[in-house]
Structure 1
Amino acid sequence: MARGHENLIPFNKRTEVEQRKIASAGGKASGEARRKKADFRKTLNALLTAEIDSPEWSPVLEALGLDSTLESAVNAAMIKEALSGNVKAYEAIAKYSGQSEKTDTDQEEQQIRMAASKAKMGVDDEEEVEDDGFLDALSGSAATDWEDWEENEDEEEEETDI
């Protein structure tokens, strides 16, 4: 068995100052990790959407009506691999294209199990609410709503200066 755990102090046995210090360090490390991941995603997206000038891929992609980007080339290469019999490439394509590995029967069985579980717990299925178009009406007006709000805010600022 590993030794050395005798000198560890549980978090709930530490003082509030120590707990705050540990939590603060954890929060800072978490923020740094999130920033690194966000930077990585930004860089990857920038690279994937960059134009490429590949004599192998550009004519094929343009013939298909696609942009000649690294992303398109990678996807086409994955499809080419799947066509040559690479099962992993096929599975990746199926996974990211929204296809499910479950059959319709599997999904129906899952729905039946969920309904039975909800019935056992006494939870009613929520009735489907008819769409009245409210959200659609809001989606087109958001930009103008903010403009109206900014105009009102400017007017209020003028009034408070008096």
Structure 2
Amino acid sequence: MDLDYSTKAQLEIRLYQKVKNMKDLKRKLTKGQLKCCIIKPSLIYDPFQVVVAANKALTAEKLTTKTIFTEILFNLSISKHITKSLQTFSVGDDDENLLVVTLADGDDGEDESIYNAIDGEEVELSNLRSFSDMNEIKKVYKISEKETLNVPFVDSIVSRIATKDFLSH
């Protein structure tokens, strides 16, 4: 999907389950061998969350974190603490499900090597909500029950992501 016009970037999000090599993927990410972002799908209610976080990362004048991919993870969080944000949204060694986010630059050969490195089963992104943990999402984004009755859930999440730099949640 296309991001902000000024970035000329395209975002691709893929969902995987039953991943058997999470430790290896995390090691490759840390070493910079995989140019992607790997997110815990239980904290993502809608792909639009990721789109907003990626757009925010790409249009920022400077990065708060070291790479554009860690910046996406950081932007998903309402916390201004980098370590806490990355720990919250990154997959754990024992997790079996993941969302992979890549940014296209016209050469998708590198993206294919990322997808080929994942020893798991790709699932249609339309199934994302079945991986979402609503209670955990409410807790992470500090969304009250009352708010869920009056505001679309995705709007509550995205508004917090968008206003993180201006408000303390």
TM-score, with length taken from structure 1: 0.19
Give the number of the structure whose alpha-carbon radius of gyration is greater. Answer: 1
Scaled by the length of structure 2, what TM-score is found? 0.18
Greater relative contact order (CA < 8 Å, ≥ 6 in sequence): 2
More helix per residue: 1
